[in-house]
Every structure is written in structure tokens, then in C-alpha cells.
Structure 1
Amino acid sequence: MFQRKNSQNHNESGPLLQDAKVKELRIALGPLAGRSLKYCTDACLRRYLEARNWNVGKAKKMLEETLKWRATYKPEEIRWHEVAHEGETGKVFRANFHDHLGRPVLIMRPGKQNTRSGEGNIRHLVYMLENAILNLVEGQEQMSWLIDFTGWSLSTSPPIKTTRDIINILQNHYPERLATAFLYNPPRIFETFWKAVKYFLDQKTSQKVKFVYPNDKDSGELMRSYFDVENLPSEFGGNATLKYDHVEFSRLMAGDDIKAAKFWGFDDDPCHVANGHHLREEAPEPV
């Protein structure tokens, strides 16, 4: 998704050479077991190689750091009931539609910020990233972000330190996961915040960020090139109605938690949140 600042992106040409690099990286990593083996698919290795300009040594170092982070932070073990309070306002959630290439869409509404907990915000976002990745269709490695700035102000934005910590996690441990981030109708004052954030991003990542505005012809054409306007919420220039039902979304996440547990190979005791209460029960099927 993100890469470290000052990195330059030159793709190695030729699928055969890329395949050879993947094999070389796998050999360099040595024997893997358990969740590390599950995580390090060929597609995963390709993303880390892409993030490090197909330099096997640098990709190995980056991936090993991710495996250490995952072993400690255990993002695959975060469960919805642990972060549900962060999502009560619908500040970040997975949309019920995809972009034109079948990529999952995360909707972010920073103006709906409801807590000041840096760690809470980070764990909630990491959970949503893991959930989006869990729901990727076969052959798809990336996701799109739709960010609605309605109600956003500097007072509702997270501290720069929290933002920097989030960027570090994203760029170090979720490389090449972001396809495009659409910043819809950001206020002029956001430019100050963006300059501070942009400092931590490399040029390739910055180019994935698109500023779009209502009643702007180019912005409208850009959104239609990525999304079906019948699915796209009106908040982003489409014809659909954006609705976030926290109880219903909690049921969906409870079902996905079971799916995640099966994927990673451990049992899970499903739990979902309804009206702010943790309820243990038979989880419904995802919708």
C-alpha cells in the first residue's frame, strides 16, 4: 500500500525474471511454518518485491520485519467486539459494493471521529484492513478507499503522532495494498494537514491519492471511471444512499471473524456488538 519515503519504483520487466525473484526471495527467507507460511504466498512475496523495486535483499528485510510485527501485534486475532466501539459512528467500514475492477472499498469518514484513543484508532483501522483483505476476490490484491470529508476539521483529526504511526504500519506491513484513495471534497484547511502527512509518503503513494470535488467535471469523470454511479453513494457523487447500520455491520463482522479464524487455522468464539453490549451467540451467516 505504502512504501518508505525516498524509494523509487522501477518495475523489473518480464514475468520470468519476476518469478525468479519470487523464488529467490522464498529461498532467502528460509523455512517458514504456521501463520508465517500462510501469510507468505507468492502474491505476498511479489508485493514486497514490488515495494522494494525487486531488490531481494531489501524485500527480505521488509518482510521479516512484517513477520515480527504480526507475531507481536497479531492483527489476524483482532476481533470486532474489541474495536466495535471505535466503529459506532461508521467512521471506517467496508462498503457493500466494489469498484470496476472488483476491488473491495473502504469508506472513511474522518468527520465521524468519536474517540481520541490513538491505539484504539490504529487497531480499528488494522482490523478493517485485515477484513478487506480477507474479502478480496481471487487474483485481486488491492483495495480502494473513499474518504468523505463532510464534518472534518483539524479538531477532529487524529494527532500527527497517531497519523505517523498509522502510516508506518501501512507502509511497512501492508505494501501495495492500496489501489487508489479518493479524498472527496476536503476543506481548504486540510491542505495544512495534508502537507504534514505527505512528508511521510513516497511519490508513488502520493500519486495514488486523488482529490475530487462535487460539481467538478473532471472529478465526476474520474469517479465514474472507477465506480458504478448506481452503487456510489451520493456523498461521493453517485446515486446511492449511504447507510451505516452499526448493529447490522456488527453481525457481518461477527460472521467474518469466524471466516478469519478458519482461514488462519484457529478456533474462534464469535462475539458481536449490539447497542454497545457484547453478546456471545451463534453468529449469523455473512450477508
Structure 2
Amino acid sequence: MATVHVPLPVPAHPNTQPPPELTGKAKLEYDRVLAHFANPEYCLPGTPSEKSSKLMEEECMWLSYECLLRYIRAAKHDVALAIKRIEDTLKWRRDFGIYDVLTAELVEPEAVTGKEFLFGYDTCGRPGLYMCPSKQNTEEGPRQIQFVVWVLERAIDLMGPGVETLALMIDFADKAKNSSISTARTVLNILQSHYPERLGVSLIAHLPWLLHAFFKLITPLIDPLTRTKMIFNPLFELDQLVHDGWGGTQMFAYDHDTYWPVLVEMCEKRREDMARMWRKLGGVVGIKEWDVKVGLRDEKADEEKPVVFEETSQ
């Protein structure tokens, strides 16, 4: 089997199902959150001016049907808390620079060794995000955290219809270099506060006994539900994921000069296409990610249909 050096395309997922229709209390909760953010007069609290308090197009698109539901569930169906958490994330995304500062050019120095990369999909269609701490190449600092968030955002770009979570693989082989407790705490806080219900499974391989102490230190910082998704030294196949170290079907090798520009272009194109489809569907708060992604899938299928020319009688 030939070695692969570039990301795999987003799978079509023809058998995935749309999100179920809401009824009863669940619908009332959702409608209240939607009405709050869809209000034409809505202004984001704590912003310096009326102009900056208005939601940007990227933020309205981010406030999808599924996004609102993720926060409602994360808030244990407390509507007021869900609204507060969403607003906290909206402000954090601006402050962190998700839409302007956090670029591929900024974080590329962190990516050159392949210490963190995206490749393939597991049997549930979740994109695979790999971390290889032994390939750490930079001093600990803000850019390392920015890189983690950038890759997470790209994983979300590459989720197909009906997929809202990712598969995180951490390989501690080859004398992995550990992050400090401070960095681990910062990353965990970002993930738990601003990316609720995005982790599908976390597979941790080749964990030496010395690192168990490290995990014991950070375990109290991890949400109990997240802890249930952590699997140590897994022994099962992972479909279209990396073969070496993980038992997947893909012979992948990280070559930065080949991989990086393809990943960046693929994600930029997908974000542009999703924004175009979102506008086509109305361009408002509460549009379903499912409808956007299925719209793109169907559009691509139509483009790939062979052209049939009818014979005309002379």
C-alpha cells in the first residue's frame, strides 16, 4: 500500500441521520435561546461600542441549531446558564482572535515536526486529531496553545454531515515531552468552556507508568463526562486512521511541506463553501449544520454525475 502524505477528503456519510426534531421541554429551551440571539436588536454584552456589539456574519453562522443545543446540554438545560456560556464563548473567540489573529501563518512554526496533525476518520466518521508530544519543537508559550485551538478549529471544518465530535489520539511513544500543569490547565479550560461536547473519544497510547502521575495531577481538572471518554493503550482498529501505532488502514507519514498547504487549502475552501451554503439557506442564527453540510454533499454529488447526451433523430 502506498504511503499517504496529505489529508483525506471529508467523507460523504450517506447513512448519517439528521438531528431529531425537538418536542416538549427541549423545544421550549431551544426556542428561548434562539430567540435571545436571533433578536434583531441583540447586542453582545460587555463590548465597547454599539457597532462592535453587533454579531458578525461568522458569529451568526457559528450560532447554529446544533451549537445552541450543545451549550444547552452542557449547561444541564439551564437556559440562563446556556446563554451566559454562549456569550462568554463569543467574547472569548473575539479576544483569542479566532477570526483574524489565529492564522495558518501564525501557527505553522508549531506544525513542522508533525507533533499535532489531522488525518482520516474513525468508524463513526469523526476526524482524527493526533498529538505526538515526543515531536515537540518549540518552547512553551502562547503560540503552542494557539496551535492547539487552530487545529481543533480545522477538525471542526472537516466534520461531515451529522458529525459533531472528533477522535483525539495522543501517542506517548519515544520519550514524550510533557506540557506543564499550567499549560494543561489552560488548554483544558478552553476545551471545556468553549468547545462543549466536541470530544467523541480520546485514545492515549504507549503511556509509560511515570506519566500516570501527570494524569493523576490533571484528572481533577477534567470534566467527569470527558474522563469517561479517555481510553488508555487501546487495542482495536480505527478504520481510515493512521496505521503505525494505531492499527488503522492508512499508511500515513507526516511530511510538512506536502501536508500543510493541502490541509490549509482544503479547510479554507470548505469554510468558504459552508459560508456560501449558509447564506443560501437564509444566513441567520439557528440554521442547521446538517442542512449546510448535506447541501454541500448533494451539490458535489450533482457535479460529479456523468453528463448524458440524448441522441436526436435526424
TM-score interval (norm. to shorter): 0.7 to 0.9
The CA deviation string for residues 175-212 of structure 1, in whole angstroms up to 9 with x for no partner, is: 10000000012110111110111111121110011102
Matching residue of 1:193: 214
Matching residue of 1:59: 82
Q: Which amino acid aligns with 2:221?
A: F
Q: Which amino acid aligns with 2:55?
A: A
Alpha-carbon distance between aligned partners in 2 of 1:240 and 1:144, rounded to the nearest angstrom: 16
Question: Alpha-carbon deviation of 1:132?
Answer: 0.6
Deviates more, 1:64-73 or 1:19-28: 19-28
Establish whether residue 177 from structure 1 lines up as the match of residue 198 from structure 2: yes
Matched-pair contact (CA < 8 Å) for 2:157–2:267: no
Alpha-carbon distance between aligned partners in 1 of 2:132 and 2:150, rounded to the nearest angstrom: 16
Establish whether residue 163 from structure 1 lines up as the match of residue 184 from structure 2: yes
Tell me: CA distance 1:200–1:255, structure 2 relative to 1, closer, same or farther (3 Å): same
Matched-pair contact (CA < 8 Å) for 1:76–1:264: no
The correspondence for 2:113, drawn from 68, 82, 89, is 89
Q: Percent identity?
A: 29
How much is the aligned-residue C-alpha RMSD, in angstroms? 2.0
Matched-pair contact (CA < 8 Å) for 2:192–2:223: no
Structure 1: state its 5+ residue gaps: 1-13, 213-218, 266-287
Q: Which amino acid aligns with 2:211?
A: F
Following superposition of structure 1 onto structure 2, how do residues 1-287 of structure 1 map, counting pairs within 5 Å? Answer: 15-16=22-23, 17-29=25-37, 30=39, 31=42, 33-34=55-56, 35-77=58-100, 78-95=102-119, 97-153=120-176, 156-212=177-233, 219-220=234-235, 223-224=236-237, 227-228=238-239, 231-238=241-248, 240-256=250-266, 258-259=268-269, 262=272
Task: Give the TM-score normalised by the residue count of structure 1.
Answer: 0.77
Tell me: CA distance 1:45–1:237, structure 2 relative to 1, closer, same or farther (3 Å): same
Alpha-carbon distance between aligned partners in 2 of 1:117 and 1:260, rounded to the nearest angstrom: 31
> Which of the pair has more CA radius of gyration?
2
The CA deviation string for residues 134-156 of structure 1, in whole angstroms up to 9 with x for no partner, is: 11112211111111111244xx2
Structure with the largest fraction of strand: 1
Matching residue of 1:8: none
Question: Alpha-carbon deviation of 1:98?
Answer: 0.6
Alpha-carbon distance between aligned partners in 1 of 2:261 and 2:155, rounded to the nearest angstrom: 16
